Amino acid sequence: MFLQIAIVILLAPFIQGVIKKTKARMQNRIGPSIWQPYYDVIKFMKKDAVLSHHSSWLSIVTPYIVFVSIVTAGLFIPTYTVNNDWNFIGDVILVVYLFGVARFFTALTALDAGGSFGGMGSSREMALSAIAEPALLLALFAVCLSSGTMKLSDLVVSLLHNGWDWFTPSYGLAFFAMLIVVIAETGRIPVDNPDTHLELTMVHEGMLLEYSGRYLGLMMWAAQIKQLLLLSLFIHLFFPWGIAASGDASQIILSFLLYVAKLVALSMLLAFIETMYAKIRLFKVPKLLGSSMILSLMAILLRVFE
Amino acid sequence: MEKTIKQWLSRMKQQLGNKVRSMEQNGAQETVMLVEKTELPDVCYFLWHEKKGRLFTMVGNDERDIHGFFALYYVFSFDSFRHFITVKTLIDPLDPTFPSVSVQLPAANWYEREVKDLLGLRPQGHPDPRPLILHGDWPEDLHPLRKDFPLDRHAPRVQSRESFMPYDSEDVTEIPVGPIHAGIIEPGHFRFGAVGDTILHLDARLFFTHRGLEKANEGMPLEKALFLAERICGVCALSHSTAFAQAAERLGGVTIPPRAAYLRTLFLELERLYNHIGDVGNICAGFGFAVGVSQGARLKETLQQLNERVAGHRYLRGIIRLGGIRIDITEREKEDIVRTLSYVKKEFQELVDLLFSHDIAMNRMATTGVLSLEHANQLEVVGVAARASGRSVDIRRDQPYAAYDQVSFHVPVYEVGDVLSRVRIRVDEVLESIAIIEQLMHSLPSGDTFTPLPPLPPYRSAMGWCESPRGETVHWLMVGPDQTVYRYRVRSATYSNWPAVPLAVKGNIVPDFPLINKSFELCYACCDR
């Protein structure tokens, strides 16, 4: 269990680094080293935080709440092994709502200092998540329906044994539905632009503008962990092969290496999508997420009638 | 032509009757009408509305030590006659007021507020009497451009009189943005009144870094003043220095040698190229299209390195000299220019194809930030923004300078007035600029690059103008008896175009504002002179 937490926390900046490096190379830039997100986190952790005079206790506790709830969600998502001591406590729905808790506090605290960009960011985030959350749940349901369990480790085991048929239409539909949700939830183009300096266009970054020092570090780190978890979820739902089902040491090492390789490949895909697309108009985002919901619904229907 | 202009002027004199006290020539291209200040709005409206003159610039001047009065000059450009008419009026220092022209002629808005701030001449009946150049915390009775205001005077700060559009409804959210922004850009404060994410109204508060360059220039020898003019703005440095040099040359009645004129044209087009290509790239940042941003930046860098190789300066500073040009180019440099430009042309074409075939990019640019032709005409918008809204003004064609009458080029005009049209104008102009440079390279005449300037006549005014990458820039210059600057007024393209931005963003959504703003590509330094 502690190994699981350590891996989730320590691997997250690496994935961020891989995405940034890939994007830079695809845009004809050299870009910062893939270890840069680690340096950033270390730098922020060393720094003192400056708080607005107008902010309340919320601004201080939110980074911890967000960080803890996302790391907790990490306990329920299989990474390199399906064996997980915490299985009995929670399932997919708990994961989604742990993310929900983090989102709630982030959006609430963005209003705390009274800055205009925080308010704008949180109103946009809440409006979008009202659609993104059901879209994520629906996409998960579409997969869960096949194995009849909501527990992620059981789900992965059942997927391992029965497998997805690559040519099942419901597989393809659920795959694309989930991909859209992963992009939206990680705040990437075409939904949000993580690299922008234009305050007026920000969604997730807009809510972080008032943070500084270690609080900012925690919030950024939490966002990177959330990104890693969503990618892991995506990997295990659609490409579960190779994950260690037993406690055999050699199998675990192999499974871990395979897991990292799949993560890197998927982050490169995300970087590729981000480079190929531009940010769509804010009011078109609900339509994009809506299409993800429709895809999931269709996947569910196909499953039911098969 | 001469004859038609004479007929046209005498007919105009008849129509205006006794409203005009006197009419005299000032140089070959300018006629000055002296009017009583009470007649000012009528005469200006007649020239603008009936005769279709464009308000070119407006200058207020403290001429109390010459003849005891303040003077106002409203300059109108008549492009079809290639002639200017200046409406001049004298204002008694004991009654420093004048009837505002802005009510009928909206484009005069900023000019009249500026005269009020800097010279203390109050436009009466002005629809928006808020301070403009000097902010609300500057004492109301201190006017820095008056001659009795010493350059080193320190003004105390007072209780601020700044105000913004008040909103009665609770549904309207006020979103203050700036003056300090997250990116490294110049200061400007924007206050949106938004309903949800839709913009109802925008107040733009600019002039945060007013430098008093016009005041600083007064009393400076002309060579030094040229140096200062070049530093008004980083990215249109050459346009400003050329406009200043042309004003001085026109005052001295000097024609620069053909080779100098051709070389000026060459460098002005190189300036336009690196600006337009960089801008097309930057606009891509408005919708997060990172490939466009980095390719634009790369091509801009290629062009700036060419500038450095050929002219010795990446931003083309220090190459203009009063009466000509400081540098010359060799055959090898000519080859370098041709080679680099053919490379840039190919690469830029690729970038443009990529951009225009990108669905999301096209969707973001089309129908965003529409500036209507009517608004563009009323506010006398210039440059790229004007031509994208169907207003065909280009001072290179309309009042040619340097060697622009020796080359043939097409002035692109689009009708829609959205972000996409402004991008298309830039793309077309890049290709036109490259074509102009090719023509110049083929027919570059040999000879001198410099004609010395004679002593300039004191207390006479002259203008120099230049189509900078952002639009026409006008410098108005009056020289004192000791060959130093007496009054210098810079009207940049940005100054004309800023008032149009709030009209273009109305009804768009807040996250589209950066994109719209970038498509106008207005420069703060050109305003904060």
Q: What are B164-199's pLDDT values in tens digits?
A: 888 888 888 888 887 888 777 888 888 888 888 888
d(CA B114, CA B120): 9
Is residue B1 over pLDDT 70?
Answer: no
Least confident of A161-170, B129-138, B276-285: A161-170
Q: How many CB pairs under 8 A join A and B?
A: 77
Cβ distance B294 to A28 less than 8 Å, yes or no, reads yes
d(CA B295, CA B348): 8
d(CA B400, CA B262): 13
Pinpoint the residues of chain B covered by CATH 1.10.645.10. Answer: 213-527
- Contact residues, chain A, for B509 at CB < 8 Å: 281-283
End-to-end CA distance of chain B: 37
Q: What is the pLDDT of residue B152?
A: 85
Residues of B (107-146) whose Cβ lies below 8 Å from A:
none
Q: What is the pLDDT of residue B431?
A: 92
- Contact residues, chain A, for B183 at CB < 8 Å: 197-198
d(CA B342, CA B472): 27
Is residue B515 over pLDDT 80?
Answer: yes
Q: Which CATH number fits domain B2-124: 3.40.50.10540, 3.30.460.80, 3.20.20.70, 3.40.50.720?
A: 3.30.460.80
B507 touching A (Cβ < 8 Å) = no
- List the structure tokens of A281: 């108009």
Q: What is the pLDDT of residue A245?
A: 67
d(CA A4, CA A10): 10
**B25: exposed, middle or buried (C-beta count within 10 Å: 0-12, 13-18, 19+)?**
exposed
Q: Position B255: which residue type? A: T
pLDDT in tens, B35-74: 888 888 888 888 888 888 889 999 988 888 888 899 999 9
Annotated binding site of B for Mg(2+): 214, 490
Q: What is the pLDDT of residue B423?
A: 93
What is the pTM for the complete model shown?
Answer: 0.87
- List the structure tokens of A3: 């190994």
DSSP assignment of B431-481 equals HHHHHHHHHHHHS---S-SB-PPPPPPTT-EEEEEEEETTEEEEEEEEE-T
Q: What is the pLDDT of residue B24?
A: 85
**pLDDT tier at B154, thresholds 50, 70, 90:** confident
Annotated binding site of B for Fe cation: 236, 526
CB under 8 Å to A124, separation ≥6 — which residues? A203, A206, A282, B197
Q: How many Å is the Cα radius of gyration of chain B?
A: 23
% residues pLDDT > 90 (chain B): 26
d(CA B370, CA A167): 47
- Contact residues, chain A, for B291 at CB < 8 Å: 26-28, 275
| Mean pLDDT (whole number) for B498-511 | 89
Query: Residue B395's closest CA among B263, B316, B254, B491?
Result: B491
Pinpoint the residues of chain B covered by CATH 3.30.460.80. Answer: 2-124
Check: CB of residue A92 under 8 Å from CB of residue A77.
no
Check: CB of residue B227 under 8 Å from CB of residue B212.
no
Annotated binding site of B: 214, 233, 236, 490, 523, 526
Cβ distance A116 to B176 less than 8 Å, yes or no, reads yes
CATH homologous superfamily, domain B213-527: Cytochrome-c3 Hydrogenase, chain B (1.10.645.10)
d(CA B44, CA B113): 17
- What residue has token string 């890939």? A22
Q: What is the pLDDT of residue A18?
A: 93
d(CA B476, CA A181): 59
Picking from A201, A209, A275, the nearest residue to B511 by CB comes out as: A201
**pLDDT tier at B23, thresholds 50, 70, 90:** confident
pLDDT in tens, B314-367: 999 989 988 889 888 888 988 999 999 999 999 999 999 989 988 888 888 888
Is residue B159 over pLDDT 90?
Answer: no
For testing the chain A interface, which of B192, B283, B291 should be mutated: the one with the most A CBs within 10 Å? B291
Q: What is the pLDDT of residue A87?
A: 60
3-state secondary structure labels for all residues of chain A = CHHHHHHHHHHHHHHHHHHHHHHHHHCCCCCCCCCHHHHHHHHHHHCCCCCCCCCCHHHHHHHHHHHHHHHHHHHHCCCCECCCCCCCCCCHHHHHHHHHHHHHHHHHHHCCCCCHHHHHHHHHHHHHHHHHHHHHHHHHHHHHHHHCCCCHHHHHHHHHHHCCCCCCHHHHHHHHHHHHHHHHHCCCCCCCCCCCCCHHHCCHHHHCCCCCHHHHHHHHHHHHHHHHHHHHHHHHHHCCCCCECCCCHHHHHHHHHHHHHHHHHHHHHHHHHHHHCCCCCHHHHHHHHHHHHHHHHHHHHHHHHC
> What single-letter DSSP state applies at residue B48?
I
Strand B461-468 to strand B324-325: parallel, antiparallel, or no bridges (unpaired)? Answer: unpaired
Query: Residue B381's closest CA among B124, B109, B190, B136?
Result: B109
A275 touching B (Cβ < 8 Å) = yes
Q: How many CB atoms lie within 10 A of CB B455?
A: 8
pLDDT in tens, B462-478: 999 999 999 899 999 99
Per-block average pLDDT, block size 10, for chain A (306 residues)? 84 92 89 92 91 86 93 85 66 88 91 83 87 87 79 78 68 86 86 81 84 91 93 86 74 86 92 87 86 89 80
Cβ distance B287 to A279 less than 8 Å, yes or no, reads yes
Q: What is the pLDDT of residue A40?
A: 92
Q: What is the pLDDT of residue B388?
A: 92
End-to-end CA distance of chain A: 38
CA distance B368 to chain A (A): 10
- Contact residues, chain A, for B302 at CB < 8 Å: none
pLDDT in tens, B203-260: 888 888 888 888 888 888 988 999 999 998 888 899 999 999 999 999 888 888 989 9
Q: How many Å is the Cα radius of gyration of chain A?
A: 19
The per-residue pLDDT of chain B, averaged, comes to 88
| Mean pLDDT (whole number) for B88-104 | 89
- Contact residues, chain B, for A209 at CB < 8 Å: 182
